[in-house]
Structure 1
Amino acid sequence: MTNTLSVSIGGGLACTEADKYLQRFILAKEFHSEWFYPGIEVKSFFDSFPGLIWNGGRVMEGMAESLSIAECKKKVEFFNQRNIGVYFTFTNNLLTEEHLPNTVCNQVLKAFESPLNAVIVCSKLLENYIRSSYPQYKIIYSVTHVTYDKAILLKAAKEYDLVVIPPEWNRDLALLSCFPAEKVEIMLCEPCIPYCPNRKEHYRATDKANLGYTVDPEASPHKCKYKALFPGELMKDLSLAEMLTIFTETGIRHFKLSNRALDLPRRIEHISRYFVRKEYAEVFTIYMTDA
């Protein structure tokens, strides 16, 4: 078993400044390796391109029709050439048969089909289509299933390349130890309350928006009434020390940094927290912001 912790980071494919700076982060690791903790690698980036109807997790502004596959290739190849995977967040769970032939979504999957890359799914319909049409991709069981049934997740660990575990279980080492260590991924952060009653509704609202449907603004995860009612009960981010404890006690080494909705300063802070030695935190922040 390797002693390296493996982290998947949100972003890298969208057009925001925060996403553009993730390439700068990778270059920092290449040219200033002394800034970073040893034994913590960037395994992949999970994201998608704007405007794709298969997207889930968040609403990405933009028109799919304006996507240039050539421009998309520049982004994906930057990571793939460094043996970093790109995991497409195609977690829309409201798809029907009529959505599967979507031209742009299929162009994207065809362009980047590789065992290095993956698709994160929630829809069984889309999952079966991808397994049949693009078999080289790894398939990842998304946390957007919103299930806390251990039996279901154990079964998924046998069927999928990776299963994202509910963040509410992060500190239950006995429960985490029930899973095959190499098949599960732990979320480092989740900006909601534990067992939020509206979590599935939030994901479905995002799915509707990505399909172009009108969505009740109050269904947005940013307006969750439970977050407002219980502001002191938001889930606490895992610390680097807790990551190491999880690895030591359970063997789990795959972690997921869910920070796609954050602005650039907060994303830099998150990356610094998990990757950068404390004595280099200031110089790293200057490097990341002084483009």
Structure 2
Amino acid sequence: MRVRFHLPDFAGHFRFNLIFAEMLKRCPQYFRDGVEIASVYGCFPPSLWNGGRFCGGYCDKDYVKTVLSAFNDRGIPLRFTFTNPMIEKKHLSDDFCNMVMNVANNGLNEAIVFSPILEEYIRKQYPKYKLTSSTCKRITDPDTLYSEVEKDYHIVVIDYDLNNKFDVLEKIPDKDKCEILVNACCDPGCVNRSEHYRAIGLQQIDYANHVKKHPNAAYSPDSFYKQHPEIKRFDKCPSVSRTVFDIQDLSTHITPDDIWNKYVPMGFTQFKIEGRTYETFNLLEHYMYYMIRPECKDIARLTFLRQLRANGVINLSE
């Protein structure tokens, strides 16, 4: 049995995920049957191509190499969230994104795509990369989903509004190729989701351009929205702060028991945990909930917290 998890975020949660990977290696008895780390996804800011979540900050080439080596040396791919839906042809030559793609162009790493323009560019310029079709496409029509699965993608991330639609899931032609986002925090059937992705994409482009022009100046989201009053503001959406306990009331929620007792027997093996912008303790509880045996949660949590503190990821008073 293989239950493969795609985890958030190799840049912002770099040491967090590295320590978790080490715990999986050294303490496998804590983990549910078959748990593997399939990839760690995210972006190195200020990646203009990034989508799905706004990511600020700055990573230089040395940091990119450090993160890449740390995960790849353990056989774990980085999977770039290049899902910005607002990409134009002029953005394809972005120096930073192309630097990242070149540095990571070793045949192990992957990219998640949305924009047909960017997808075509990556396929042509970086053919070693395995490509994932993004959930940001909002494919909720069953026949369109089945068609997407049959295209030349390594993985297709299913829209989480279909998470518990078993009549649809049963008919997917290649379930092993599909990835299910188990802990969606967005409201089921949210009518603003696609518009939110577009707003994030525009802000990410604005941020990347700001860093190029004013590398030492602070970036203001407020200023961005004042300059673009036509763009609806979603950056304070309350859904993104939901905890692992809050999401359990949503109809799109998938429990750990569901994964092992329903989805894996159906043929699904790929599962995504979202949380690129989660604070450390919320993300920790998601990992405990989904990947750790219930009877081992306390010892696993203590072990993990001690390692996080020892490595300076968190500070806890004695």
Task: State the TM-score, normalized to the length of structure 2.
Answer: 0.82
1:45, distance to aligned residue in structure 2 (A): 0.7
CA contact (8 A) 2:140 2:161 kept: no
Q: Which residue of 1 aligns with 2:200?
A: 206
- Any idea what the Cα deviations from partners look like across 1:211-239, whole Å, max 9, x if unmatched? 117236852154269x9xxx997445311
Q: 1:42 to 1:21 in 2, by over 3 A?
A: same
CA contact (8 A) 1:246 1:252 kept: no
Q: Which residue of 2 aligns with 1:187?
A: 181
CA contact (8 A) 2:40 2:77 kept: yes
Distance 1:199 1:168 in 2: 11
Distance 1:248 1:203 in 2: 30
The 10-residue stretch of structure 1 (40-49 or 239-248) with the greater mean CA deviation from structure 2: 239-248
Distance 2:252 2:176 in 1: 24
1:100 counterpart SS class: helix
Q: Which runs of 5+ in 1 are unaligned?
A: none
- 1:59 paired with 2:54, answer yes
CA contact (8 A) 1:21 1:288 kept: no
Q: Which residue of 1 aligns with 2:212?
A: none
CA contact (8 A) 2:52 2:81 kept: yes
Partner amino acid, structure 1, of 2:38: K
1:123, distance to aligned residue in structure 2 (A): 0.3
- 1:6 paired with 2:4, answer yes
Task: State the TM-score, normalized to the length of structure 1.
Answer: 0.89
Q: Among residues 28, 48, 55, which one is paired with 1:33 in the alignment?
A: 28
Q: Which residue of 1 aligns with 2:43?
A: 48
CA contact (8 A) 2:164 2:252 kept: no
1:44, distance to aligned residue in structure 2 (A): 0.5
Q: Which residue of 1 aligns with 2:96?
A: 104
- 1:131 paired with 2:123, answer yes
The 10-residue stretch of structure 1 (110-119 or 94-103) with the greater mean CA deviation from structure 2: 110-119
2:81 counterpart SS class: strand
Q: 1:280 to 1:174 in 2, by over 3 A?
A: same
Q: Which residue of 2 aligns with 1:277?
A: 293
The 10-residue stretch of structure 1 (244-253 or 138-147) with the greater mean CA deviation from structure 2: 244-253
- Any idea what the Cα deviations from partners look like across 1:131-158, whole Å, max 9, x if unmatched? 0000000111101111212222222212
What root-mean-square deviation, in Å, do the aligned CA atoms of Structure 1 and Structure 2 show?
2.3
Between the aligned residues of both structures, percent identity stands at 27
The 5 Å alignment of 1:93-172 reads 93-159=85-151, 160-172=153-165
Distance 2:138 2:129 in 1: 23
